[in-house]
Chains A and B, each alone.
Chain A
Amino acid sequence: MATHLTPLWEVFIRSRNGLNHKHVGSLHAADGDLALQSARDVYTRREEGNSIWVVRSEQILASDPDKAAETFEPAADKVYRHPSFYDIPDDVGHM
């Protein structure tokens, strides 16, 4: 029988309510249930979280780092998106 590779999953953990799930690493598991169980054993042995997401790694689409300059650069010349762009007299107070 040909060896099938056990799929790779990315693991996200929320450390406590009120915070986002955050990527912590990956692991191999045959299916979602096993992935969740492994994620618990591998990534939360010391109360690192109260919620786990697992996602098949192949399902994640990533932006191309070679195109990072053109993808993110336009944001730099839109200074009018920042509060400091606007002149308001100091005596108006905090705004």
Chain B
Amino acid sequence: MYSQGLIGSGSENEESEAFLARFQARIDAEEKIEPNDAMPLAYRKTLIRQIGQHAHSEIVGMLPEGNWITRAPTLRRKMALLAKVQDEGGHGLYLYSAAETLGVSREEMTEELLSGRAKYSSIFNYPTPTWADIGMIGWLVDGAAIMNQVPLCRCSFGPYARAMVRVCREESFHQRQGYEIVMTLAEGTDEQKEMAQDSLNRWWWPALMMFGPHDADSSNSDQSMLWKIKRFTNDELRQKFVDATVPQAEKIGLKIPDPDLKWNPEKNDGAGGYDFGALDWDEFWRVVKGGGPMNRDRIAARKAAWENGRWVREAALAHAAKREERAATAKVAAE
């Protein structure tokens, strides 16, 4: 509702020094920026890109788990998984609507995803060949998402922050149901335990990559911190995630697949934390740029959903138009 006709027509398109300083002062004072407020074009563009990518990640994120809904081992697991996947669809919709307040349309965002111009989280380009992967996604992938999303609840852009509050409220169930699946397997037969360990071996490193490149290599990071879109750097969040997750693995007798993992009492200003091994950034960039094992499948699935839903969208619009027309004729007849 906010943005119709706003883009490019704002009275403050002149980005003078004084305008930028005034904007930064509002940010520094922890004021929230709302959609109709004057904002630098770069701030708007950064948010459109980030919220769009975030929304796409939620939507594409339904696919690896959706793969197991019909094969969940019990009714309890199936109900939980269905509810979780539905939540992820909801997260995508909250986020698309937050991005739309900045003047981008849903159709444009969808088009960008389908054409491959928009990115989404690299993690969803890995396959889910075993049931343990569903547990691992909930535990690690939702766990990493929570680390990322909790600080976003304080993001300077109001609609994004509000969407994140809703999302975060729903995420903790996702992580807990995942951990429960992994825990059950880890306490099961040798084969089940092995399945859980194998899944952890495959997902650990991609989960760490979810936080994005190292701070030194992250081009947008400084500006986003200055604008209080981000509150922590990629490396800070990654460290928090490792420190929180390693004890959870130990608790259920699984081994983190990192020979360099070591407790370091000096870390985190003396509070202690884990040193961990180097990430394979070549793999990260390959997967982000479309070379992961499942990139093609994911986009093909989204395209099919869009194409197969076309007649429904068109029929619904035609029906709405017809009803409106009939209502108008009836009104005239009654006068």
Contacts and interface: CB of A to CB of B under 8 A. Distances in A.
Mutual binders A and B: yes
Interface residues of A, number: 28
A70 interface: no
A31 B90 contact: no
User: Which of A26, A34, A45, A46 has the most chain B CB atoms inside 10 A of its CB?
Assistant: A26
Contact of B11 (A5, A29, A30, A66): A66
Interface of B: 1-2, 4, 11-12, 34, 36-38, 83, 86-87, 90, 93-94, 97-98, 100-101, 105-107, 159, 162-163, 166, 170, 313-314, 316-317, 319-320, 323
Nearest to A1: B314
Given A31-B319, A42-B94, 7 more contacts: A6-B106, A6-B317, A25-B94, A25-B98, A45-B83, A62-B1, A66-B38
A43 B87 CA distance: 10
A27 interface: yes
B1 A26 contact: yes
A72 to B, nearest CB: 14
9 nearest A-B pairs in the assembled complex, by CB-CB distance: A30-B316, A57-B1, A31-B320, A26-B97, A30-B320, A65-B36, A60-B1, A30-B317, A25-B97
Contacts of A26: 1, 97, 100-101
Contacts of A10: 1
B39 to A, nearest CB: 10
A8 interface: yes
Interface of A: 1, 3-6, 8, 10, 24-31, 34, 41-43, 45-46, 57-58, 60, 62, 64-66
A31 B316 contact: yes
A7 B82 CA distance: 28
B106 A64 contact: no
Nearest to A55: B1
A24 B314 CA distance: 27
A63 B9 CA distance: 16
A57 to B, nearest CB: 4
A5 B105 contact: yes
B90 A65 contact: no
Contacts of A60: 1
Contacts of A41: 86, 90
A66 B170 CA distance: 36
Contacts of A5: 105-107
